[in-house]
Structure 1
C-alpha cells in the first residue's frame, strides 16, 4: 500500500472514496483510490496491491475468473 496524504479532514466531514482497478495481472491487481472532500478537493491518494496466494504452497496463483 502506498498512501499520499495531501491534506487533513475532520471527524464529521463528508468524504467520497473513488476506487478503480488500475492494473490487473495474472496473480495480482492494484486498486487506485482517491479520497475527496465535499468541495471536490482531493485529500488523499492511495495505491493498494492485492495478490492471490495458494494457502498451502504459499506461492502466487492466478485469480479464478468467472465468466
Structure 2
C-alpha cells in the first residue's frame, strides 16, 4: 500500500449492521468508539504502520488515554456512514485524533481521541521512535 499523501485525512466507510444497533434500530452510542478505532487503525495502515509488527519490533503499542465524544444525529440500521480521521496534534508520546462519523455529509458524531504510546509488556508510556515520528510528521505537513 502506498503512503498516504501529506495533509491527508483517512476515510473509512462502514455499513451499520443489526449488531451495531439497540432495540430501536439506532446505533448504540458505545459503538461509535469501535467505529472510530477502526478509522484510526486504517489511517495508520494507510501510512504503512502495522500495529502487530510495531509491537513485536519496537515493543510499542497505542492505547486510548482520553476520548471526548459529541453525538448530534442518530445513525440507523443499514445506514452507510463514513468515519473521517485526522491528526490534530503529535507530541513525544501522544497523538490527538479528530474524528467524525458522517452520513451523506451530515455530521452524526465527532470525537477527540488522545492516544498514548506505551511499552508492549510494561504498559508504561514511551516516546515515539524517530522513524515513526518522522512518518507521522510527514503525513501531517
| Global fold match (TM > 0.5) | yes
How many Å separate the matches in 2 of 1:50 and 1:57? 13
Does residue 3 of the first structure (1) align with residue 69 of the second (2)?
A: yes
Higher strand residue share: 1
4+ runs deviating over 4 angstroms: none
How many Å separate the matches in 1 of 2:68 and 2:95? 14
> Alpha carbon RMSD of aligned pairs, Å?
1.6
Task: Structure 1: give runs of 5+ residues left out of the alignment.
Answer: none
How many Å separate the matches in 2 of 1:65 and 1:31? 20
Higher helix residue share: 2
Cross-structure match for 1:36 = 102
Cross-structure match for 2:79 = 13
Cross-structure match for 1:62 = 127
1:22 pairs with one of 80, 88, 99: 88
TM-score, normalising length from structure 2? 0.43
**Structure 1 residue 65 displacement after superposition:** 2.9
- Count of aligned positions: 65
**Structure 1 residue 53 displacement after superposition:** 2.0
TM-score, normalising length from structure 1? 0.84
